[in-house]
Structure 1
Amino acid sequence: MGAAEWTADDVRRILRLPTRSDDKYSRGVVGLRTGSQAYPGAAVLGVEAAWRTGVGMVRYLGPEVPTSLVLARRPETVAAAGRVQAWVIGSGTDAAHRTPEEDTALRRVLAAAEPVVVDAGALDLAPVGSAPRIITPHGREHDRLRVQTGLPPAGVDADDDAREAAAVETAAHLGVTVLLKGATTIVATPRGWVRRIGVATPWLATAGTGDVLAGIVGAVVAGAADADDLGPLGATGAWLHAEAGAAAAGALGARGGPITAMEVAAAVPRVVAGVLAGG
């Protein structure tokens, strides 16, 4: 028997309504170092998702092409360094083409105190630094990271119980929170806390939705009243992502229909509002 499912009631305890005393900083500032000249869209999707989740500010630091696209889509984004409550790194990047300057910048982020969501092209740096981290690999990325750090691969055909056991082992081995993506998403912390988020719609299996997930999780962490325990925050982000996918696909009919990653991001505010209204 596997871990318990993360539910709407759990999510409701994590999210918070803004108050009259809040400002953009108290609502959370998330910074993203994502996207590349080859994959600029990942930056746009992650920034869009972070804004849609409900933070007070999104900072974006990246190459020229993604920066211009981010600002064209979301001119309220701040394209300058400054204070943040959480980082998202790696989406839309390739470690094989990382410049020495970018490598230094990422290692600096990972050595700081703010929590970091480590995705895609930055996963090779998951063992680096002392910052609290949520890593967001899919199955093959998880296996590569395990081999890199001296653990055996779980295997692409592993069932959910085996995937869960591997995620728990990785979390303990690296001292990070693991958000293992899949039809069933598994979130495990170094202390052995583990939850599952079930598939909401198979229509989510489309390009760019992982970039959206990273932006959502980063926003949840940045806006949290208490970011010390990353497991529930990662599970909340994964649940919002799954439900936004279901909402976007469900708008097309009882069986759902084809959706894009940007449509998933656009559905997040309705999901957040629905959860908060149910309290």
Structure 2
Amino acid sequence: MTGSAERLIWTAEDAREWIAVPTADDDKYSRGVLGVITGSHDYPGAAVLGVEAAARTGVGMVRYTGPRAVGGIVLARRPEIVTQSGRVQAWLIGSGMNAGRRTFVLGGEIQQALAQGVPTVLDAGALDLAPDATGPTVITPHARELAELLSPRSTEATLDAIRADAATWAARAADEFAVTVLLKGSTTHVASPGSPSYAVTDAPGWLATAGTGDVLAGILGALLATNTERIARDPALALPALAATASFLHSRAADLASGGGPITALDVAEHVPAAIAALLRD
């Protein structure tokens, strides 16, 4: 890692250390099971993209337990996804959801997931639940979402202020909510209480397109599920490292998908295996 003590640049060498490569003794359970509660009537594609990315990042199994109608769409794309409840090693919650339209039943299911205390990614429509999480948690806002999250606690947390000093505001949010913050942008900033802050740079401009945040959340959820033992040993080290690694893989997959031209979110998800293979080779 290079850079100042406040902002370390996350590199390929750093990211390589956090890829869990299966051995001959592994099975689908030991490789990690990711539980997913994402998508909605309005945004079913968010669930498809997150599940697609998670499955391609190396997780052993994905359990999708979000809205049933969305689950049918997810299964049509990825028939290996399990839609029955069961034990998971990590959760991905909130992509494609709206906190203001959360039903009583869905809210109860999410609270049950949060109460399990396993590593959790909170995205989009679940960002407001950061104070309710009982396990190691990463939230994945963009600047506007972070402003909405922090504005009730600080009048200074405006969109312009966050855009002007993203690294500082990511660190402030991490301390405020006692979680790891992955603040998305052309440079992604990762902050965690008591840990160094990381920056992931050089994301292609073509990555700024609908659905790529859902892909990033899926990559991160899979990395948490495949690294639960390391998280348990040292969450202060592991969570920000895994968040930065997810962003790094996201950018590299986008580079491979683009080849210098436009891309879609699904293109990025489909190139995650090649990004991982290239990282391990190098």
- Give the TM-score of the pair, scaled to structure 2: 0.93
One-letter amino acid matched to 1:166: W
Of the structure 1 ranges 151-160 and 113-122, higher mean CA displacement relative to structure 2 is found in 151-160
For residues 62-100 of structure 1, give each alpha carbon's deviation from its aligned partner in whole angstroms, at most 9, with x where no partner exists: 222211111010000000111111100000001111101
Instruction: Name the residue aligned to 1:248.
Output: 257
Q: Where do 5+ consecutive residues of structure 2 fail to align?
A: none
Q: 2:189 aligns with which of 186, 190, 205?
A: 186
Partner residue, 1:151: 154
Cα deviation digits, residues 20-54 of structure 1 (max 9, x gap)? 00111111111110001111110000000000101
- Inter-CA distance 153–244: structure 2 relative to 1 (3 Å threshold): farther
* Number of the residue aligned with 2:66: 62
How far 1:154 sits from its partner (Å)? 3.7
CA drift of 1:4 comes to 1.3
Q: In 2, Cα distance between the equivalents of 1:19 and 1:152?
A: 51
1:110 aligns with 2:119: no
Corresponding position of 1:165: 168
RMSD: 1.4
Q: Deviations over 1:98-122 (max 9, x none)?
A: 1011111112222221011000011
Q: Report what 1:221 is aligned to.
A: 224
Paired residues, number: 272
Question: What CA distance in whole angstroms lies between the structure 2 residues aligned with 1:183 and 1:212?
Answer: 16
- 3-state SS, counterpart of residue 34 of structure 2: strand
* TM-score normalised per structure 1: 0.94
Tell me by how many angstroms 1:236 deviates.
0.6
Whole-angstrom CA distance in 2 between matches of 1:102 and 1:191: 33
Segments ≥4 residues shifted beyond 6 Å: none
Once the two structures are superposed, residues 220-248 of structure 1 have per-residue CA deviations (whole angstroms, 9 ceiling, x without a partner) of 11001412331101111111011111111
For the residues of structure 1 that align with 2:268 and 2:193, how far apart are their CA atoms?
30
User: 1:160 deviation in Å?
Assistant: 6.7
1:130-149 mapped onto 2 (5 Å cutoff): 130-148=134-152
Which one of 15, 23, 28 corresponds to residue 24 of structure 1?
28
CA distance in 2, matches of 1:160, 1:244: 25
Match of 1:238 among 240, 243, 247: 247
Structure 1 residue runs without a partner (length 5+): 251-255
Q: CA deviation at 1:216?
A: 0.3
2 CA distance for matches of 1:50 and 1:71? 14
